């Protein structure tokens, strides 16, 4: 019988898989290493378990890497635990990844760490199943090179036991692998492992991982490591965790990182921590989220570092919490950034603490944001620092008499027409005559008729003649008779008399009316003339009355006419007498009628005379009547003439 040992390597390679399976374990064990090296993958995969287990170390180590690469799971699982360590590093490298799943934990752990496991390629490691990876001993995991370790996937890492995870050299892992750990597995890492994280690895940590990180560990990181935290990561930290940071650590965060802090985080910090971060690193949105308490913790140095956009973003409540020291530190540029709503939140003490220069620099919108309580609470020096010309009409209306009285002459001289129109009677009464007389036509145009009516005669008398003359008809109608009667001659002469109402005219004293110029009296309307008192009418010269138009003349009432002297009536023109209405004619007395000359008598509508008037006509007056006038008389009038 032919001995198997007599076959050449070439002959061995040509044996069928059936022949191979028919060999005894003794025959297999007798194969020379050169014969074993000739075995193909198919021949090896066809061997019975007993045949494979008959191979010794030397034989195994001579199996070609090509044949090893093709070994099936069935062949690999047939190997004894004592045979697996026989694989050379080249053979280990030739194994497919699934081969390690075929090995038992004992078999995997029997592989040497320095040679056999070191021979694993990155693709082999990446291909290890979770079962295979679970078979690795902690020492084997520790021995993985950086290339091998970085080939592990998140799912592979997350299947490791606590002991295996803690055995890993995390410095060999990538930041992506570390961020891929579940929060539970991340929490099982040792303090030493997490303490070795690089800034890049720290920057890759998920919020879930950060959430399970003990506060003492994070706060033990050095400034370089903390520099790896992103703004998004910082925003996820709990206020309790953030509170464990030292002020110096918080101060080391750059502006990009600091912009990740939320309002609740910032508002939970102590004075030392908040001032260490510094307001210069905060966005306007973050500044706007600072609470009143947080604002109160800022140092004066920090307060001065606010930008105009940050100041503008502060809430009214936060503004109201600024200390006097913080306010004093604010520059005029920052104050200029305050909104009207923010200034309205200031206390009187805060406003006063801004300083007179700053108060004087407030723009119109800011000044008009101040409340009446604030303005009325300011001291004289602070009030005098403000630009009163920027007050709103509502502010002036609500200004107390004390506050208004504290304003300087220069401040009040800047009042606009609208502001003047908003002044109260009390305020107007506090103005000196020189102040009122200094108002220009535009300013004076703001005063209302109601205001004028409320002024004392003394205050009105402080208006100069030019100002009186510039008053509109509506304004002039606000004067009371007492005020007009108290005006001086120059002021009276400046009045546009036609602007006065009939009620005002009626209230004029004879002295006042007499003081009016001929031109003023000549310009009066019929209604005004009708309002003249008897005393006023008696002051008129014949020439003045004679200059009246028919329309003006029509303003005289029957009573007015009856009160005139006969000589005055005798000076009426023919046109004026001819324009008399029936009601006016009945007011003429017989003395007045008898004082008229023939042309004057002849223009009268004598049919409108009363019987008594006709009866009182003297012979001269009767002789002047025309035939037409006589024919117009009524029977009663004729009877009066004949008796």
Q: What is the pLDDT of residues 166-221, one digit of tens each?
A: 999 998 999 999 999 999 999 999 999 998 999 999 999 998 998 898 888 888 88
Q: Confirm whether 353 is domain-assigned.
A: no
CA distance 225 to 249: 11
Is residue 112 assigned to a domain? no
613, 588 Cβ separation under 8 angstroms: yes
Q: What is the pLDDT of residue 596?
A: 95
What's residue 504's pLDDT? 86
pLDDT at 214: 86
Q: Which residues contact 463 (CB under 8 A, 6 or more apart)?
A: 436, 437, 491
Show Cβ contacts of residue 14 under 8 Å, excluding neighbours closer than 6 positions: none
Residue 358 tokens read as 């700053």
Let me know if residue 41 belongs to a domain.
Answer: no
What's residue 272's pLDDT?
Answer: 94
- Of the candidates 538, 609, 540, the one whose C-alpha atom is nearest the C-alpha of residue 577 is 609
Residue 577 lies in a domain: yes
pTM above 0.85, yes or no: no
pLDDT, tens only, 503-552: 888 888 888 988 988 888 888 888 888 888 878 887 777 778 878 888 88
Q: Is the pLDDT of residue 146 over 60?
A: yes
pLDDT for 235 beyond 90? yes
In a domain, 143, yes or no: no
Provide, rounded to the nearest whole percent, the portion of the chain with pLDDT above 90: 45
Q: Which residues contact 71 (CB under 8 A, 6 or more apart)?
A: 41, 44, 45, 95, 96, 99
By the 10 Å C-beta count (0-12 exposed, 13-18 middle, 19+ buried), 38 is classed as buried
Q: What does the pLDDT read at residue 296?
A: 86
The pLDDT tens digits of the residues spanning 462-483 come to 888 988 989 999 999 999 999 9
pLDDT at residue 159, as a whole number: 92
**Average pLDDT of 233-260?**
91
Q: How far apart are CA 122 and CA 151, in angstroms?
A: 5
pLDDT at 128: 80
Q: How far apart are CA 84 and CA 529, in angstroms?
A: 137
**Selection from 506, 512, 472, 471 nearest residue 488 by Cα:** 512
The verdict on residue 557 lying in a domain is: yes
Given a cut of 90, whether residue 359 has pLDDT beyond it is: no
Distance CA 582, CA 605 (A): 8
| Tens of pLDDT, residues 424-464 | 888 888 888 888 888 888 988 999 999 888 888 888 888 88
* pLDDT score of 93 more than 90: no
Q: Where does the pLDDT of residue 130 fall: very low under 50, low under 70, confident under 90, or very high at 90 and above?
A: confident
For 606-628, write each residue's pLDDT tens digit: 999 999 999 999 999 999 999 99
Q: Give the mean model confidence (pLDDT) for residues 312-339.
A: 79
Residue 601, domain extent: 540-643
Tokens of 76: 């690999």
pLDDT band per the 50, 70, 90 thresholds, residue 38: very high
Asked whether residue 574 is domain-assigned, the answer is yes
418 assigned to some structural domain: no
Q: What is the pLDDT of residues 509-522, one digit of tens each?
A: 888 988 988 888 88
**Is there a contact between 78 and 52 (Cβ–Cβ < 8 Å)?**
yes
pLDDT at 276 over 90: yes
pLDDT of residue 2: 63
Structurally, how many domains does the chain consist of? 1
User: Is a pLDDT exceeding 90 seen at residue 352?
Assistant: no
Confidence tier at 1 by pLDDT (50, 70, 90) = low
Residue where the block lists tokens 């800047």 = 414
For residue 160, what pLDDT band results from cuts at 50, 70 and 90? very high
Residues 160 and 144: their CA atoms lie apart, in Å, by 14
CB 491 within 8 A of CB 463: yes
Check: CB of residue 286 under 8 Å from CB of residue 259: yes
Q: Region 238-262: what's the mean pLDDT? A: 91
What is the rounded distance in angstroms from the CA atom of residue 559 to the CA atom of residue 466? 37
Average pLDDT over residues 105-115: 75
Put residue 214 in one of left, alpha, beta given phi > 0 → left and psi -120 to 50 → alpha.
beta
């Amino acid at each position: 019988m032919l001995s198997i040992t007599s076959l050449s390597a070439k002959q061995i390679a040509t044996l069928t898989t059936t022949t191979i399976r028919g060999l005894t374990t003794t025959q297999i064990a007798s194969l020379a290493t050169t014969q074993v090296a000739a075995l193909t993958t198919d021949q090896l995969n066809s061997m019975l378990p007993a045949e494979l287990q008959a191979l010794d170390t030397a034989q195994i180590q001579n199996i070609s890497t090509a044949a090893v690469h093709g070994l099936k799971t069935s062949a690999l699982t047939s190997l004894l635990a004592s045979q697996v360590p026989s694989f050379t590093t080249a053979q280990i490298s030739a194994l497919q990844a699934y081969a390690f799943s075929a090995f038992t934990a004992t078999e995997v752990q029997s592989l040497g760490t320095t040679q056999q496991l070191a021979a694993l390629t990155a693709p082999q490691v990446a291909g290890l199943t979770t079962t295979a990876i679970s078979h690795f001993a902690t020492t084997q995991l520790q021995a993985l090179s950086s290339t091998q370790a970085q080939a592990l996937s998140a799912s592979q890492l997350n299947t490791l036991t606590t002991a295996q995870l803690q055995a890993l050299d995390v410095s060999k892992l990538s930041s992506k692998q570390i961020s891929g750990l579940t929060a539970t597995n991340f929490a099982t890492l040792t303090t030493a492992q997490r303490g070795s994280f690089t800034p890049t690895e720290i920057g890759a940590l998920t919020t879930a991982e950060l959430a399970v990180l003990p506060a003492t560990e994070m706060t033990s990181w050095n400034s370089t490591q903390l520099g790896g935290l992103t703004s998004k990561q910082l925003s996820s930290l709990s206020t309790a965790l953030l509170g464990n940071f030292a002020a110096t650590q918080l101060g080391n965060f750059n502006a990009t990182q600091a912009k990740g802090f939320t309002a609740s985080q910032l508002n939970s910090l102590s004075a030392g921590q908040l001032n260490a971060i510094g307001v210069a690193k905060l966005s306007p949105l973050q500044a706007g989220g600072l609470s009143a308490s947080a604002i109160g913790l800022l140092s004066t140095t920090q307060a001065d570092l606010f930008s105009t956009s940050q100041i503008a973003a502060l809430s009214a409540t936060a503004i109201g919490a600024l200390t006097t020291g913080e306010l004093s530190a604010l520059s005029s540029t920052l104050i200029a950034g305050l909104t009207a709503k923010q200034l309205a939140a200031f206390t009187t003490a805060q406003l006063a603490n801004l300083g007179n220069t700053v108060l004087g620099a407030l723009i119109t919108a800011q000044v008009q944001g101040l409340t009446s309580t604030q303005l009325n609470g300011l001291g004289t020096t602070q009030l005098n620092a403000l630009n009163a010309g920027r007050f709103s009409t509502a502010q002036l209306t609500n200004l107390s008499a004390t506050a208004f009285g504290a304003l300087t002459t220069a401040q009040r001289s800047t009042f606009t027409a609208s502001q003047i129109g908003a002044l109260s009677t009390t305020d107007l009464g506090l103005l000196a005559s020189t102040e009122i007389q200094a108002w220009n036509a535009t300013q004076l145009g703001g005063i209302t008729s109601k205001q004028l009516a409320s002024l004392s005669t003394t205050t009105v008398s402080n208006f100069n003649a030019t100002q009186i003359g510039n008053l509109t008809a509506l304004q002039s109608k606000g004067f009371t008779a007492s005020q007009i009667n108290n005006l001086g001659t120059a002021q009276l002469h400046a009045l546009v008399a036609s602007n006065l109402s009939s009620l005002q005219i009626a209230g004029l004293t004879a002295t006042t009316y007499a003081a009016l110029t001929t031109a003023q009296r000549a310009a009066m309307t019929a209604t005004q003339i009708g309002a003249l008192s008897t005393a006023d009418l008696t002051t008129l010269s014949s020439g003045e009355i004679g200059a009246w138009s028919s329309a003006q003349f029509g303003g005289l009432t029957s009573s007015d006419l009856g009160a005139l002297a006969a000589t005055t009536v005798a000076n009426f023109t023919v046109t004026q007498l001819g324009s008399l209405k029936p009601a006016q004619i009945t007011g003429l007395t017989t003395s007045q009628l008898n004082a008229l000359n023939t042309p004057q008598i002849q223009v009268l509508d004598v049919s409108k005379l009363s019987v008594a008037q006709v009866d009182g006509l003297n012979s001269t007056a009767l002789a002047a009547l025309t035939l037409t006038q006589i024919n117009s008389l009524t029977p009663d009038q004729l009877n009066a003439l004949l008796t």
